[in-house]
Amino acid sequence: MFDSLTQKFNNVFRSLSGRGRITEDNVRDAMRQVRTALLEADVNFKVVKDFCESVTQKALGAEVIKSLHPGQMMIKIVNDELTQLMGPVDSRIYYVSPGPTVILLAGLQGSGKTTTAGKLAKYLVSKGKKPLLVADDLQRPAAILQLQTLGEQLGVPVHCDFDSKDPVKVAVKGVHVARSSDRDVVVLDTAGRLHIDADLMDELGRVCKAVTPHQIYLVCDSMTGQDAVNSAKEFNDQLELDGVILTKLDGDARGGAALSVKAVTGKPIKFIGVGEKLDKLEEFHPDRMAGRILGMGDVVSLVEKAQEQFDAEEAEKLQQKMAKGQLTFDDFLKQMQMMKKMGGMKDIMKLIPGIGSQMAGMDVDDGEIKRIEAIVHSMTKKERQNPDLIDASRRRRIARGSGTEPHDVSGLVKTFNQTRQMMKTMSGMGMMGRMKAMKQLGNMDMFGGKVPQMKIKQRSKRKKVDRKKKAKGGQSRSKGRR
Amino acid sequence: MALFSRTIEKLKNGLRKSRDKIGNSLKTVLTLGRKIDEELLEQLEEQLITADIGVETSMQIIDDLRSAWKEKKIAAAEDIIPFLKQDLIACWPERDRQLKMADQPPTVVMITGVNGCGKTTSVGKLSYWLSQQGHKVVLGACDTFRAAAVEQLSIWSKRCDVQIVKHQQDSDPAAVAFDACEAALARKTDFLIVDTAGRLHTQQNLMRELTKIRDVIARKIPEAPHEVIQVLDATTGQNAINQAKMFTQAVNVSGIMLAKLDGTAKGGIVIAIRNQINIPVKFIGIGEGPEDIEPFDPESFVEALFS
């Protein structure tokens, strides 16, 4: 599903490429894919409808930044809109003074309330608070015991009453205990309940009335489908929520529920649960969630990162150098450092639509890049400007300096020469040609990858590219195959 | 017969909310005498998607409808529901819905699923259901990971008056499975129900652990486990397809128990699962009590969804 979706986006965006402006038809076409993407990510149908409407309006009015792909611009608009809808971020817990601050966790059965209560307690401890857990789930067998076990693991006291049948009393007692034992935050773990179960919802209302919690969080399973809106709305109507905690995000659910819940309740998503261990509670980042919901890598951050890192003027200079085949090792190094700033090679590859799927089987080794850097650093200025200078003796010196073998050095020089050659070739190509050449770039052994040989339409007469076949075995240069 | 009518009653009650919702909106769309047209089909598609049936499967259903319409098999709006019913009921032939029994007891049923989908509760209900039918049941408490899961199952075993095999928390679940198999053989029980810890299908090490549990069971009792039931929360969205795929890969899931169908969620995802991975639904869960379990009845399911 994931790949096919990325593919779909690519198709739409390919059709957009080369145009300076997004036409209305383009937008509608792309929006159809966005709609499918959102629906497949379990965003509620109505929310999707409204969302698509507003994005279409925005996209039609938007100018395309010249240096960007119109497709990317489109994704950017979608992404920004999604991010904005799910934001703003507000992970703060508002404490009251004098304490104790009472936090109530509510939600459907199995959404992860008890585990979240444990995680929240741990988070509070890390913030210098002294939480008290209150086991107010008197419904499910052994729920109290579960919270007690968690409390023991964390060294956080747990208030519980095995004999009581009345959650209101337990909650009130819990707050009293906190007050008298000098705990400043109370985390109330309530029983899971269906939003349509009038009796249990009533009971929850009574608990709220009795202890007037300062914060009420809805714990919501990120795998929830279209129904997320119904339950969230009902809980919000009855309890006046203060925030949402989204759980089980360590799975591969795309988490459209986040958007649905935010859309119907308007309440911020405070935290996300990303694992079973008790430290797996993170603050929510709407931008990351947006990428996840769209299921297309994070092209926008890539574009933005690239924009941040690449100085336009410098890029222009570089481009000219490339065109003339005058690239030096210094430029090479600079490029690599930029890439590193943008995250690891693997991450970057994943972010590029189309290339990501091509490279699925490829093992990009970031350590390799470090080694290359070391080699380049061990070269003299002259050598960097003019790699042809490097003879056997210099090679030995460079290898010693970088802690590599001489054949590593010669391998890098070779790769570099190829790159230079290819850059020159590429600069004469259109966008499509460049995309293809990019794929070919991954084909070279400088990434130590195991890439299947790709068919490349060679527009240039240069035969040099054929040498890249040596990469076929997937052996990396540093392993000393030659 | 009493049991049967109760089934219908329960299911109807359980699905009333869902039925009201989808039924109402369907009714507003499918007014009497309205001719089928593209707009109507689009509205229908929306309804199907809202039931978590998924984009792809909804589109397939709509395509079926469209071709039937083009071939003039159906023409008016009131033909649509009977057509859909027939279309969907065909997904679940009867033989698929029965619990596969071992030739030689014990029949081993393994329960799996992601965290919080309702496995332990389902194990409890299933053991109650089986023991009500006069079967001798033993439970294997293989969820040794989650705090107090063993205690939770112990409480269920007392409640349903069935035996239980358990170890300490954090012990090896495969070892518990082994002992449970031995106990089932020694005590000559009819059923062994193995509860496992919830795990997200993306956690490969945990999925391998699941495979190991299965292998241990298979070694101890040939051809076991006879059923591997994946418990699925009815509120789950499209991710359920991935779940079913990965669990099937790990332990060859033979059926689904659709839990928490008493909410407003429609559980339409099982249609997509049937469509794409071909796993039948065997049971539904419609409450927290021991008796809140029913064998899956596609007719009532679809009827409750559309009537």
Contacts of A230 in chain B (CB under 8 A): 264-265
In angstroms, the Cα distances linking A349 to A355, A425, A447, A474 are 7, 22, 11, 18
Domain ranges of chain A: 3-86, 101-295, 301-451
In angstroms, the Cα distances linking A446 to A65, A68, A315 are 33, 27, 22
Interface of B with A in 27-86 (CB under 8 A): 46, 49-52, 54-55
Of A39, A140, A252, the CB nearest to B202: A252
Q: Are A266 and A238 in contact (CB under 8 A)?
A: no
d(CA B65, CA B40): 11
Question: What pLDDT sits at residue A122?
Answer: 95
Between chains, do B236 and A223 touch, taking CB under 8 Å as contact? yes
DSSP B81-108: HHHHHHHHHTTS-HHHHSPPPPSSSPEE
Query: What is the arithmetic mean of pLDDT over A257-277?
Result: 89
d(CA A288, CA A271): 13
Residue among A234, A207, A7 at smallest CA distance from A108? A234
Q: Are A214 and A94 in contact (CB under 8 A)?
A: yes
Helix (H) or strand (E) holding A190: strand A185-190
Of A146-150, A318-322, B30-34, which has the strongest mean pLDDT?
A: A146-150
d(CA A144, CA A119): 16
Q: Are B87 and B45 in contact (CB under 8 A)?
A: no
Question: What pLDDT sits at residue B13?
Answer: 56
Class of domain B8-94: mainly alpha
Q: Are A119 and A273 in contact (CB under 8 A)?
A: yes
Residue among A331, A289, A283 at smallest CA distance from A310? A331
Least CA distance to B197: which residue of chain A? A276
d(CA A383, CA A333): 13
In angstroms, the Cα distances linking B277 to A169, A359, B114, B245, B252 are 48, 27, 18, 7, 11
Nearest-neighbour CA in chain A from B293: distance (Å): 16
d(CA B265, CA A260): 15
User: SS3 of A134, please?
Assistant: strand
Question: What pLDDT sits at residue A16?
Answer: 59
Question: What pLDDT sits at residue B245?
Answer: 92
A320 pLDDT exceeds 80?
no
Ranges of CATH 3.40.50.300 domains, chain B: 96-306
Residue among A269, A266, A264 at smallest CA distance from A233? A264
d(CA A379, CA A46): 61
In angstroms, the Cα distances linking B79 to A60, B66, B69, B84 are 41, 12, 10, 9
How does pLDDT run across A16-27, given as a tens digit for each residue?
555 555 567 777
Residues of chain B with pLDDT under 50: 1-5, 16-19, 21-23
Higher pLDDT, A231 or A428: A231
Q: Are A255 and B238 in contact (CB under 8 A)?
A: no
Contacts of B117 in chain A (CB under 8 A): 110
Question: What pLDDT sits at residue A155?
Answer: 94
Query: What is the arithmetic mean of pLDDT over A262-275?
Result: 90
A180 pLDDT exceeds 70?
yes
d(CA A306, CA A300): 10
Q: According to DSSP H, which parts of A141-274 are helical?
A: 143-154, 167-180, 198-211, 228-239, 256-265
CATH topology of domain A3-86: Four Helix Bundle (Hemerythrin (Met), subunit A) (1.20.120)
Query: Running DSSP on this structure, what letter comes out for residue A298?
Result: B
A142 touches chain B (CB under 8 A): yes
With a pLDDT cut of 90, the percent of chain A lying above it is 31
Neighbours of A197 (CB within 10 A): 16
Q: What ipTM score was computed for the predicted complex, to two decimals?
A: 0.84
- CATH number, domain A301-451: 1.10.260.30
d(CA A344, CA A172): 52
A480 pLDDT exceeds 70?
no
**pLDDT category, A387, cuts 50, 70, 90?**
confident
Q: What is the largest CA-CA distance in chain B?
A: 65
Question: What pLDDT sits at residue A179?
Answer: 92
Measure the N-to-C terminal CA separation of chain A; round to a whole number of Å. 41
Tokens of A270: 């405070």
Contacts of A201 in chain B (CB under 8 A): none
Question: What pLDDT sits at residue A284?
Answer: 87
Question: What pLDDT sits at residue A40?
Answer: 87
Q: Are B122 and B152 in contact (CB under 8 A)?
A: no
Question: What pLDDT sits at residue A12?
Answer: 61
Question: What pLDDT sits at residue A365?
Answer: 58
A267 touches chain B (CB under 8 A): no
This prediction has a pTM of: 0.72
Residue A412 neighbours by CB under 8 Å, 6+ apart: A372, A375, A376, A446, A477
Nearest-neighbour CA in chain A from B298: distance (Å): 21
Higher pLDDT, A221 or A10: A221
How does pLDDT run across A200-236, given as a tens digit for each residue?
999 999 999 999 999 999 999 999 999 899 899 999 9
How is the beta sheet containing A185-190 ordered, strand by strand? A158-159, A131-136, A185-190, A101-107, A215-221, A243-247, A269-273, A281-283
Query: The CATH number of B96-306 is which of 3.30.70.1060, 3.40.50.10490, 3.30.70.100, 3.40.50.300?
Result: 3.40.50.300
Question: What pLDDT sits at residue A181?
Answer: 92
Q: Are A222 and A247 in contact (CB under 8 A)?
A: yes
Question: What pLDDT sits at residue A198?
Answer: 87
Question: What pLDDT sits at residue A2?
Answer: 39
A345 pLDDT exceeds 80?
no
Among A322-326, A401-405, B72-76, the minimum mean pLDDT is found in A322-326
Nearest-neighbour CA in chain B from A29: distance (Å): 17
Query: What is the arithmetic mean of pLDDT over A314-338?
Result: 74
A161 pLDDT exceeds 80?
yes
Architecture of domain A101-295: 3-Layer(aba) Sandwich (3.40)
Least CA distance to B50: which residue of chain A? A226
Question: What pLDDT sits at residue A243?
Answer: 92
CA angle A384, A394, A478 (to 5 degrees): 80
Interface of B with A in 2-21 (CB under 8 A): 17
In angstroms, the Cα distances linking A448 to A219, A332, B29, B151 are 44, 17, 59, 52
Of B169, B203, B237, the CB nearest to A225: B237
B281-285 and B293-295 beta bridge pairing: antiparallel
Question: What pLDDT sits at residue B99?
Answer: 87
Q: Are A312 and A120 in contact (CB under 8 A)?
A: no
CA angle B96, B99, B105 (to 5 degrees): 140
Over its C-alpha atoms, chain A yields an Rg (Å, rounded) of 28
Between chains, do A226 and B49 touch, taking CB under 8 Å as contact? yes
A81 pLDDT exceeds 80?
yes
Query: Running DSSP on this structure, what letter comes out for residue A270?
Result: E
Q: How far is C-alpha A139 from the chain's CA centre?
A: 37
Between chains, do A141 and B152 touch, taking CB under 8 Å as contact? yes
Ranges of CATH 1.20.120.140 domains, chain B: 8-94
Of B115, B238, B262, the CB nearest to A248: B115
Residue B114 neighbours by CB under 8 Å, 6+ apart: A223, A248, A251, B198, B199, B200, B201, B233, B243
How does pLDDT run across A29-73, given as a tens digit for each residue?
778 888 888 898 899 999 999 998 888 888 777 654 444 566 667
Question: What pLDDT sits at residue A474?
Answer: 40
B197 touches chain A (CB under 8 A): no
